[in-house]
């Protein structure tokens, strides 16, 4: 029994140390982000104290490995005699990840130009969204990583655009299932083709605001059918997009970076117009809070070790959440946000509401099942009399393919 007690105590100490190391790694990541975004060479003594393996892992989880490696690279270039301690030999992998991400951006740019040539030729209006625009605002090319090419286009040409992607060898991941269609092609080509900016089923406060976005678009010089947003409207859209993630599954430090970079590069934006529109969208307080945190947390004059001293308690809570999330938050927050839709008073979640959520996840409505069958099991659509069995089949398939994910979700909901 004594040995068991000692083993338990030792395990707790090890877990506490591990947690402490991951916490330090998150703040070290923020320091490298500060250096990278401000084009400042990091302090070699500070770098020497870092657990680079964990800092790399944290950076990767937030899609910031290019930015953080560029900060380290600036140190290597500034003084070739400086040797960065790398006991775990993580730097080669980090460098490879940076090069791969930059190559991906280049290939995605080329693929987008090909698509835009087709859309221009066919007279289909279109506009680049999200990272496609944001990546050009960062100090160096590739510093802001991209997962997808996000494009808003004329929905009356949805089928024609679908057929073009198929002709180009893309796999159709989703079509006519929501507010955007997804097309993928190996090795890295991902497109999200939007017919609206936000799905109606999320019940976001600004969904209606963006139903008439076409009226605000500006023609791109030299193009007949390519459009862009004004600096102000793009910033508003960026805030709305960040809020969508923040309010559902959460978001990471990159959200602060995007906000900071927009304000830094587009520093002549009409603030009175922004404030007026933010009030309309119900995002005035959210934008102000995120902008202030970005100014404080990404300012190199404020040492990472003293960031807490310049933040309010609420700002500290938000920054900590962003630091320890992934790029798009975490699943636990997403599950909770979905459940709270059935209990808008935000009080303790009742067993009944949890059960209602799990039943909805296990047995979706008829329209969802039709889309699921179309994508995964068209056999059921060809034999309609079997459709009542489809939900059970879906559960079995889900457990076989992603049993751990199912268990994690059920456990998380149970503990809420």
Alpha-carbon distance 5 to 100, whole Å? 48
Residue 245, pLDDT score:
87
Residue 33 domain flag: yes
Measure Cα distances from 320 to 296, 297, 327, 416 in Å.
13, 11, 14, 20
Residue 102, pLDDT score:
94
Tokens standing for residue 140: 């160096």
pLDDT digits 0-9 by tens, 241-293: 999 988 877 789 999 999 999 999 999 999 999 999 999 999 999 999 999 99
Residue 115 domain flag: no
CA proximity to 226, closest of 117, 65, 324, 137: 117
Mapped onto helix, strand or coil, the DSSP state of residue 283 is coil
Q: What is the pLDDT along the chain (416 residues), one digit of tens a residue?
A: 445 666 777 677 777 778 888 899 999 999 999 999 999 999 999 999 999 999 999 999 999 999 999 999 999 999 888 889 888 999 999 999 999 999 999 999 999 999 999 999 999 999 999 999 999 999 999 999 988 999 999 999 999 999 999 999 999 988 988 899 999 999 999 999 999 999 887 778 898 899 899 999 999 999 999 999 999 999 999 999 999 988 877 789 999 999 999 999 999 999 999 999 999 999 999 999 999 999 999 876 656 666 767 888 889 889 988 988 764 444 454 445 555 555 555 556 667 766 776 777 777 777 667 767 766 777 787 888 888 888 888 888 877 777 766 676 666 666 66
- Ramachandran area for residue 222 (φ above 0: left; ψ -120 to 50: alpha; else beta): left
Residue 8, pLDDT score:
75
Residue 340 domain flag: yes
Number of structural domains found in the chain: 2
Residue-range definition of the domain harbouring residue 415: 330-416
Residue 302 domain flag: no
Residue 224 domain flag: no
Alpha-carbon distance 166 to 145, whole Å? 26
Residue 48, pLDDT score:
93
Single residue among 58, 89, 120 that ends a domain in this structure:
89
Residue 346 domain flag: yes
- Give 153's strand partners: 126
Residue 177 domain flag: no
Please check whether residue 373 is in contact with residue 381, taking contact to mean a CB–CB distance below 8 angstroms.
yes
Residue 114 domain flag: no
Residue 37, pLDDT score:
94
Single residue among 56, 89, 122 that ends a domain in this structure:
89
CA proximity to 230, closest of 222, 239, 240, 220: 220
Measure Cα distances from 42 to 31, 84, 312, 331, 382 in Å.
8, 11, 27, 33, 62
Please check whether residue 218 is in contact with residue 301, taking contact to mean a CB–CB distance below 8 angstroms.
no
Single residue among 65, 89, 113 that ends a domain in this structure:
89
Alpha-carbon distance 28 to 52, whole Å? 9
Mapped onto helix, strand or coil, the DSSP state of residue 182 is strand
Tokens standing for residue 19: 């947690």
Taking 3-state DSSP, the helix, strand and coil percentages for the chain, each rounded to the nearest 5, stand at: 65, 5, 30
pLDDT digits 0-9 by tens, 6-41: 677 767 777 777 888 889 999 999 999 999 999 999
Q: What is the pTM of this model?
A: 0.79
Please check whether residue 64 is in contact with residue 37, taking contact to mean a CB–CB distance below 8 angstroms.
no
User: Under 8 Å CB-to-CB from 385, ≥6 apart: which residues?
Assistant: none
CA proximity to 53, closest of 104, 13, 89, 98: 89
Mapped onto helix, strand or coil, the DSSP state of residue 208 is helix
Residue 201, pLDDT score:
73
């Amino acid at each position: 029994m004594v040995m068991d007690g000692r083993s338990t105590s030792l395990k707790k100490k090890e877990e506490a140390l591990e947690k402490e190391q991951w916490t330090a790694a998150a703040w070290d990541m923020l320091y490298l982000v500060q250096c990278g975004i401000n084009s400042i060479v990091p302090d070699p003594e500070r770098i020497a104290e870092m657990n680079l393996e964990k800092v790399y892992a944290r950076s990767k989880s937030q899609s910031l490995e290019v930015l953080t490696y560029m900060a380290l690279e600036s140190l290597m270039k500034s003084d070739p005699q400086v040797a960065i301690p790398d006991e775990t030999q993580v730097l080669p992998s980090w460098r490879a990840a940076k090069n791969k991400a930059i190559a991906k951006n280049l290939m995605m740019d080329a693929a987008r130009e090909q698509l835009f040539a087709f859309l221009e030729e066919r007279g289909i209006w279109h506009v680049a969204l999200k990272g496609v625009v944001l990546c050009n605002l960062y100090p160096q090319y590739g510093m802001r990583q991209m997962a997808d090419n996000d494009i808003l286009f004329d929905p009356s040409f949805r089928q024609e655009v679908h057929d073009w992607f198929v002709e180009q060898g893309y796999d159709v991941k989703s079509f006519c299932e929501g507010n955007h269609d997804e097309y993928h092609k190996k090795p890295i080509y991902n497109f999200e083709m939007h017919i609206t900016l936000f799905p109606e089923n999320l019940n976001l406060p600004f969904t209606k605001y963006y139903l008439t976005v076409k009226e605000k678009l500006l023609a791109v010089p030299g193009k007949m059918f390519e459009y862009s947003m004004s600096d102000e409207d793009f910033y508003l859209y960026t805030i709305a997009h960040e809020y969508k993630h923040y309010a559902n599954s959460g978001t990471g430090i990159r959200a602060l970076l995007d906000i900071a970079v927009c304000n830094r590069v587009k520093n002549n934006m009409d603030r009175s117009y922004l404030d007026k529109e933010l009030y309309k969208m119900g995002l005035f307080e959210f934008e102000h809070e995120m902008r202030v945190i970005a100014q404080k947390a990404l300012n190199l004059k404020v040492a990472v070790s003293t960031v807490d001293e310049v933040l309010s308690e609420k700002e500290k809570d938000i920054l900590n959440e962003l630091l320890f999330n992934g790029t798009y938050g975490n699943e636990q927050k997403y599950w909770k946000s979905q459940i709270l839709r059935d209990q808008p008073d935000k009080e303790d979640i009742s067993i009944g509401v949890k059960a209602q959520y799990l039943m909805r996840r296990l047995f979706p409505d008829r329209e969802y099942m039709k889309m699921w069958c179309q994508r995964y099991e068209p056999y059921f659509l060809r034999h309609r009399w079997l459709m009542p069995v489809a939900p059970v089949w879906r559960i079995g398939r889900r457990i076989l393919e992603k049993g751990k994910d199912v268990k994690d979700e059920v456990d998380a909901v149970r503990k809420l």
